[in-house]
Amino acid sequence: MNLKELTLIGCLGNDAEVKQSKDGNSYISFSVAVNSGYKDKNGNWVNSTTWTNVTYFKESKVVEYLKKGKLVYVKGKAKWEINYSNGNEYLNSYLTANEIILLNDANANYMKLEITGNLGGDAVINETNGKKVIRFSVAVNDKITDESSQLVEDTQWVTVFCHRELNLEHYKKGQGIYVRGAVKASIFRTRGGEAIVNLTLTMDESCIMYARKKDDDSPEADNSTGFEDANEIEGDLPF
């Protein structure tokens, strides 16, 4: 199983509540807003707020201090899902926390994703808006519970963008890698019309983890999305 861990610093959107899971376990539930921004295709800065639903299963009195507007540091396992209501699609972000810390600096905002996995293809250099960008996809394997409560294998593809020079000899198909950076989630519609979660990560750092797999054992990049060029990704790139 690969790593897919999200770290947040943001403000609570509501007072934390203690709830009961289906199997009778108590957990703390609250939402966190992280303010950030990005440049659109015209180079204009756009402010953005990302909401994440947080659950915390450890017994703790921290719930007494998790009040609306409080600044908090949260770290844990991340998941994104597309939900439907009244014929509309909604992308929701979830985090199962293993660490919560109350903070004082009300102006702090932070949202970084850490992943481990294997490259689905050799890294390539694209030119977008006159800038050279290195792009590669990472397959992150996980185990999830399906609708019938069975544990099944799941693969999440993450498209990584890097704006500095890399030795591309190390970024080949099948290579095991650790990557950390700013994450952006969106809904992407494939050529077949299916709505899927599209995760892009602007890389801060990476580490080659282990020897590259043989070609016949390597994961295949999901070409059903049509990600043949960075310009084909719907929406704005997270520069």
Is residue 99 included in any domain, yes or no?
Answer: yes
Same domain (yes/no): 106, 125: no
Which candidate, 124, 110, 219, places its Cα nearest to that of 175? 219
Is residue 108 included in any domain, yes or no?
Answer: yes
Domain with 207 in it: 115-232
| Helices marked H in the chain | none
The conformation of residue 82, written as its DSSP 8-state character, comes to: E
Which candidate, 162, 154, 138, 135, places its Cα nearest to that of 221? 138
Same domain (yes/no): 119, 218: yes
Same domain (yes/no): 67, 132: no
Per-residue pLDDT at 39 exceeds 70: yes
| pLDDT given at position 151 | 74
Is residue 129 included in any domain, yes or no?
Answer: yes
Per-residue pLDDT at 237 exceeds 60: no
Is residue 239 included in any domain, yes or no?
Answer: no
- Its sign, for the CA torsion 15, 10, 116, 146, is positive
Same domain (yes/no): 35, 130: no
Is residue 237 included in any domain, yes or no?
Answer: no
| pLDDT given at position 227 | 36
3-state secondary structure of 232: helix
Task: Please state the domain count of the chain.
Answer: 2
Q: What is the mean pLDDT of residues 190-211?
A: 89
Per-residue pLDDT at 226 exceeds 60: no
Q: What is the pLDDT of residues 147-175, one digit of tens each?
A: 666 778 889 999 999 999 999 999 999 99
Same domain (yes/no): 120, 219: yes
Q: What is the pLDDT of residues 113-125, one digit of tens each?
A: 999 999 999 999 9
